[in-house]
Structure 1
Amino acid sequence: MDKTIPAKLPLYLHGNWIQSQSNDWLDVTNPATGAVLTRAPYTTADEMEQAVASAAEAFQSWKDTPVPERARLMLRYQQLLKEHQEELATILCEETGKTFDDAKGDVWRGIEVVEQAANIAALMMGETVENVASTIDCYSYLQPIGVCAGITPFNFPAMIPLWMFPMAIACGNTFVLKPSEQDPVTPCKLAELFAEAGAPKGLLQVVHGGREQVDFLLEHPGIKAVSFVGSVPVGRHIYRTGTDNLKRVQAFAGAKNHMVVMPDANKPAAINNIVGSSVGAAGQRCMAISVAVLVGEAQQWIPEIRDAMAGVKPGHWKDPDAGYGPLISAAARERVLGYIKKGKEEGARCLLDGTGASVDGYPNGHWVGPTLFADVTPDMSIYTDEIFGPVLCLVNADTLDDAIRLVNDCPYGNGTSIFTASGAAARKYQHDILVGQVGINVPIPVPLPFFSFTGWRASFYGDQHAYGKQAVRFYTETKTVIARWFDSDIEHAEHPNMTIQLK
């Protein structure tokens, strides 16, 4: 791929950047300006077939590549990613609108997963027991499963691909990546650096497109496992279609993350974290806090929460004062504005209305200002639905038990937080809550890559989660060996030409 963004985005097949023969292309636009950055193809069926075939061919030799060599590839790759972090962040800003610091964080969280992939030798160790029966030993190996695929969302175009293909490839597999059609340039740059790190041809393929290309990967018999991050309806489709076609699937779906604020919490820290975690990245995070549950006297903090949110302004990524950027598309903006309208109609009290937000010099940007609703109840659509915008709902609870019941009644289980000075309250919350990732005085509890990203309930479909030890299990099969050797073979080994008499 060219160092500058090309007018037409190529495919990455068998280690080469190839111009698609597709007749159907889509515009990739800058969400802050509306300008077209490039055009991405709807990859043809023949090109999709080439991607899978190339990955399958490469797998035959890569699966037998010594584990330390795979680890060294990841070491070289993480170093290149660090050297190009700002370049990657700049590309990411142009196609997502994220602020520069947010974009650098997106890249960095991906780099951390690559660092974990460099530890693959320790992660792929099997198990052994001597003398499970008399003179019989049992031991197991972890072996790669084949060609894997990843379908990634628009909101983290660096981090989420790096959740997937480095771990899969380090385990000995090959990979076909289908990035979001809304911001595919950053993933292409990731692939370019992977090749520069010395990755053999065919380990990684990059294709573009929409549902037709996704369904191709879900239905193709050569794909053994599929990783997905996105919305609930698409996640269900991915899981059902993939498993119906006998594939291993991990599908990360929607979220409605709650932050419970106890009255003994550190007020400045709690308010600052409520605001940052709700409107940061324009609320376009699966781990964003979209509901703050104010317990007891913490309900008196509402005016201060409103004032703090009012001080955050959207803006272009080159503006150092911008709190966050635009929504990814005009359709996303209209969807968020629709929910703000619904919230008012359903009786929630709108304390801040971001409907009319604008940014000087960028009239075509997809801007929505910070929006705050109070008196929200669980039957309102702004509470039940994932809005994916800079909209925060305030819900009141009398006690910690009431707050726990509220969170557990929500069908999602991606992330939650509690802010409190009480160790007992925090322990009760972390134990009783039915959510996979819990923060204590931490607003967005995303685990570091030596743990796993563990959404629960309607936030995840599958058995093994992303990165950490669970990713290794997802991308490998366990082979168990039971071995027995006979004492008479020792004598034969010492005297191989001697005939051993059977007894």
Structure 2
Amino acid sequence: MTDGRIETGAGPGTAGEMGHWIAGGPVAGRSGRRAEVFDPATGRVAGHVALASAAEVDAAVAAAAAAFPAWRDASLVKRAQVLFRFRELVDAHRDELAALITAQHGKVRADALGEVARGLEVVEFACGIPHLLKGGYSENVSTGVDSFSIRQPLGVVAGVTPFNFPVMVPMWMFPVAIACGNTFVLKPSERDPAASLLLASLWRRAGLPDGVFNVVQGDRVAVDRLLEHPQVRAVSFVGSTPIARHVYQTGTRHGKRVQALGGAKNHMLVLPDADLDLVADAAVNAGFGSAGERCMAISVVIAVDPAGDELVHKIVQRVAGLVVGPGDDPEAQMGPLVTGAHRDRVAGYLDAALAEGAKLVVDGRETPIRGGTTAAATPGFWLGPTVLDHVRPGTAVHRDEIFGPVLSVVRVPSYEEGLAIINGTEYGNGAAIFTGDGRAARRFHAEVEVGMVGVNVPIPVPMAFYSFGGWKASLFGDTHVHGPDGVHFYTRGKVVTSRWPDQGHGGVNLGFPTNG
């Protein structure tokens, strides 16, 4: 950023086109390909973004590879100092980052600011890298022999991130990777690319050496080149399960370390003894925040009899009071979906659910939009909060990751049946239980087959010093994101066994060495 402006990498003839960030500065796209970037609230094209060619990806990787030796050898204290300065700059520019999120993703301002705050938590975690990279030391493992362990960076690593969190999810990755001594290439979503360029300019202002952090805008061409590039050592990915599977299989086939976080279908199990007012608040907050475009959104409420009728009534009451409108409207609580195609896909589930026996309690297509009429009739990518009751397990609306503001209510007669539904799904990202019974809660977090569990907490996103990730088809790879797993993912271990014998000590001995 210079003089308050975002450095976009626009070049001659590409006015307003957002480009790349390579070797410490903005670079205009040269592939001749570009994509439209929309204002979700109006449906209008707000700009264009360059789509990188394989050659442009190669240039970013080459810059990262050239910067790696010096950054790897930089002291832990120097790295931490850069991280601290970056943290302060992000904090100072959180309003600008939030405005970019609102403009290109559609989130309301409060939600966008919350995203920036959660990303900052990972930066703050990474500021402690001198402590996080401490190894172990054992003296005299054998006579006069010492052993110690160290963790070293991998080299050039890459991150491929989704549209729904254009600031937070990249900051789950690159602060830890860079703090560990790696250099980084980010491929953000082409739907909301501007925030990545502002973050890059803040890195430069923080004193990060040129080439340590790079951004290549693009589509699958860029992703596949990163997965195949021989100098890229590891790839982090967050997105849908089919693409996560492709990323994992392609990356590992090319010898890379890969963590690929896929889709989710998160359930909330509600026992009859739960505080149903608390549950209704939690279901609405977790189901409709960010228009349901969260991998940790609660999309299914499993109500154990006799809680169902009263709970649905309370949820409907709260939905009726929600204000849906443009993200820059201070009164709005929920904004639009990210694209028209995605909105149409989500809305398509409603008629399908009715055909499969569900009851449409609240139809988001009829939601009033501030500054417009109904969601279906207002320009932009609108779908209001939607509630479906009596959803049958295994139907499409229950089975698929819809990724929109659709909350399904499933009714069951017992805890055991509710747990079986959760454990029988394809995904294993997160789940929550609401109850006043500590024994039931303890049983649930022991028995449920997911990676993240909430007890009277609807969105169990771990703090930055723990790690984020699911089970089953929600994660491909064996490490989660940020926290201790993040440090482990971006480094590799080495054990040194050392001896400094007296002069003349030695002799030939072909026996297998043992301690003594």
Q: What TM-score do the two structures reach when normalised by structure 2?
A: 0.93
User: 3-state SS of the aligned residue for 1:63?
Assistant: helix
Which is worse superposed, 145-154 or 303-312?
303-312
Q: CA deviation at 1:454?
A: 2.6
Q: Aligned residue for 2:91?
A: 82
Q: Deviation per CA, 1:391-413, whole angstroms, max 9, x where unpaired?
A: 01101121222221111111211
Q: How does 1:10-49 map to 2 (within 5 A)?
A: 10-49=19-58
Report the counterpart of residue 297 of structure 2 in structure 1. 288
Match of 2:353 among 343, 357, 382: 343
Instruction: Give how far 1:252 is off.
Output: 0.5
Residue of structure 2 in register with 1:155 after alignment: 164
Conserved? CA contact 2:465–2:482, under 8 Å: yes
Residue matched to 2:474: 459
Query: How big is the shift at 1:306?
Result: 1.9
Residues 420-459 of structure 1 correspond to what in structure 2 (within 5 A)? 420-459=435-474
Q: Distance in 2 between matches of 1:424 and 1:46?
A: 58
Q: Does 1:164 align with 2:173?
A: yes
C-alpha separation in 1, matches of 2:448 and 2:380: 39
Question: Secondary structure of the residue that 1:57 maps to in structure 2?
Answer: helix
Identify the range of structure 1 (77-86 vs 355-364) with the bigger mean alpha-carbon deviation.
355-364
Structure 1 residue aligned with 2:287: 278
CA distance in structure 1 between the aligned counterparts of 2:361 and 2:330, rounded to whole angstroms: 26
**C-alpha distance in 2 between matches for 1:138 and 1:177:** 37
Once residues 138 and 504 of structure 2 are traced to their aligned partners in structure 1, the CA distance between those partners, rounded to angstroms, is: 22
The residue aligned with 2:387 is 372
2:434 to 411, 419, 443: 419
Partner of 1:497: none
Please point out which of 309, 316, 319 is paired with 1:306.
316
Q: In the aligned structure 2, how far is the partner of 1:258 from the partner of 1:321?
A: 29
Name the structure 1 match of 2:344: 334
Could you say if the C-alpha distance between residues 4 and 30 of structure 1 is closer, same or farther in structure 2, counting changes exceeding 3 Å? Answer: farther
What do residues 297-332 of structure 1 show as CA deviations (whole Å, max 9, x unaligned)?
A: 211322222222232232111323322110000010
Deviation (angstroms), 1:489: 7.4
Distance in 2 separating the partners of 1:314 and 1:209 = 31
Q: Which amino acid aligns with 2:348?
A: G
Between stretches 349-358 and 200-209, larger displacement belongs to: 349-358
SS of the aligned residue for 1:237 comes to: helix
- 2:418 equivalent to 1:390: no
Residues 135-188 of structure 1, C-alpha deviation per residue, up to 9 Å, x if partnerless?
Answer: 222111100000000000000000011111111010000000000000000111
Give distance in 1, aligned partners of 2:93 and 2:349. Answer: 38
Residues 371/138 of structure 1: CA separation in 2 closer, same or farther (3 Å cut): same
**In 2, distance between residues paired with 1:248 and 1:120?**
21
8 Å CA contact 1:22–1:43 kept in 2: the answer is yes
CA distance in 2 between counterparts of 1:240 and 1:356 reads 42
Check the 8 A contact 1:314/1:368 in 2, yes or no: no
1:240 aligns with 2:232: no
Report the Cα offset of residue 358 of structure 1: 5.1
1:243 Cα deviation from its structure 2 partner: 0.4
Query: Which residue among 364, 369, 373 is the counterpart of 1:359?
Result: 369
Contact 1:147–1:225, Cα closer than 8 Å, also in 2: yes
Which residue is 2:327 aligned to?
A: 317
2:359 corresponds to which letter in structure 1? R
Which structure 1 segments of 5+ residues have no match? 491-503
Counterpart AA for 2:391 = V
Letter in 2 for 1:182: R
Matches within 5 A, 1:83-122: 83-122=92-131
Report SS of the residue matched to 1:446: coil
Deviation of residue 192 (structure 1)?
1.0
The one-letter code of the counterpart of 2:210 is: K
Deviations 1:172-220 (A, max 9, x none): 0000000000000011111111111111000011011100110000000
Q: Secondary structure at the match of 1:143?
A: strand
Work out the CA distance in 2 between the residues paired with 1:225 and 1:397.
Answer: 44
Determine if contact 1:151/1:214 at 8 Å carries over to the other structure: yes
Kindly indicate whether the alpha-carbon contact (under 8 Å) linking 1:129 and 1:139 is maintained by their aligned counterparts in 2.
yes
One-letter amino acid of the structure 1 residue matched with residue 69 of structure 2: Q
The residue number in structure 2 matching 1:220 is: 229
| Aligned pairs, number | 490
- Give the match's secondary structure for 1:71: helix
Corresponding letter in the other structure for 1:228:
F
Counting only pairs closer than 5 Å after superposition, residues 60-79 of structure 1 correspond to structure 2 as: 60-79=69-88
262-271 vs 157-166, greater mean Cα deviation: 262-271
Per mean C-alpha deviation after superposition, the further-off stretch among 224-233 and 122-131 is: 122-131
